[in-house]
Structure 1
């Protein structure tokens, strides 16, 4: 279970005020894979980072009774001067898992070849995401936070990523951000729509998708009249 209690977050982006959470109170239940939907700029990635603990809210708190991954595919915490292998070993020590097993898993799954032993700063954005995805999936979490991760890489890697994620979710919960409704329908069984700092939860993912699509149609209509 993950509970957001009176969560608030705003910040300035290019001089404009950005509202992510407005005294938001909501709960993500155990054992569900929840699609986190919202317009571009609604703050979905920021909300995931607050849940992960990599971004601080202005007020309120995130409560949980289990372990939570960092946003899968997010590579912002990797040290640029360490190699991919060294970064993975460091993560293994932090989370108390076998360093050799995690390194072997990530090296095979990410398919980085010789780059796995080169400095992280030399990686392309796709390579960084592949390393981060492999490291995330190599550790068992009670809840995985997934942010557009299966959009990275070629078709074969996308398929492998989604297959592995589905396997992990047989025993874990998830909060998933994706613009691909096909993927959302394959992975998620519930949904939540983030709009103007508030979250509306649905037990049925199709209801959440319908709510999200209404919001998107309204956005398109307003842009045409602007």
Structure 2
């Protein structure tokens, strides 16, 4: 369970203040996949970072029970001079899981071949994403934070990623940000719409997707004059 209590976050950009969370209150139930919808810049990834603990709110608090992942698929924390294997073993030690078990899982899942033993700085962005997804999903969490994670790799790898994500959702929950409404409909149990600092929670996922799409269409028409 994750509870947002009176959560506020404001940024100053080009001398102007932009509020992305304005006294937001919400409860995300355990073992449910919650999709967060909203236009670019609405604050979806900011909310994920705050739930992960990587960013502090201006005010309010986030209360959680159980373990929460870092944003799944995030490759920015890898050490470039260390190999994929060394990074995997290091993360396993940080999270207190068996290093050999995680290394075997990631080597099999990420399909990096001999690159798994080479420095991460030599990886393409797609290879880093595959390594990051494998490491993230190889550790069991009560709640996974997901930011466009299944968009990694080719169609076959994306299908395999979806299958693994579904398997994890049998015993865990997730808070998911994605621009793919198809994935929202397939994977999410509930959906939130973040707009102008307000977060509205919908149990009817197809209805939430329609509201989001109408909002995006209206924005495009406004932008086009």
Fold shared per TM-score above 0.5: yes
Residue aligning to 1:2: 2
Residue aligning to 1:22: 22
Residue aligning to 1:124: 124
Q: CA deviation at 1:140?
A: 0.8
Residue aligning to 2:183: 183
Task: Map residues 96-135 of structure 1 onto 2, 5 A cutoff.
Answer: 96-135=96-135
Partner of 2:224: helix, strand, or coil?
Answer: helix
Q: CA deviation at 1:11?
A: 2.2
Distance of 1:43 and 1:102 partners within structure 2:
32
Structure 2's unaligned 5+ residue stretches are none
State which drifts further: 81-90 or 15-24: 15-24
- Paired residues, number: 225
Distance of 2:63 and 2:122 partners within structure 1:
37
Residue aligning to 2:140: 140
Distance of 1:198 and 1:120 partners within structure 2:
39
Residue aligning to 2:214: 214
Q: CA deviation at 1:13?
A: 4.4
Structure 1's unaligned 5+ residue stretches are none
Residue aligning to 2:40: 40
Q: What is the CA deviation profile of residues 19-65 of structure 1, one whole-angstrom value per residue up to 9, with x for unaligned ones? A: 32122121111121111100111111111111111122222221101
The 3 A distance-change label for structure 1 pair 53 and 98 is: same
Residue aligning to 2:165: 165
Distance of 2:24 and 2:115 partners within structure 1:
42
Partner of 1:86: helix, strand, or coil?
Answer: helix
State which drifts further: 99-108 or 172-181: 172-181
CA RMSD of aligned residues (A): 1.4
Q: CA deviation at 1:10?
A: 2.1
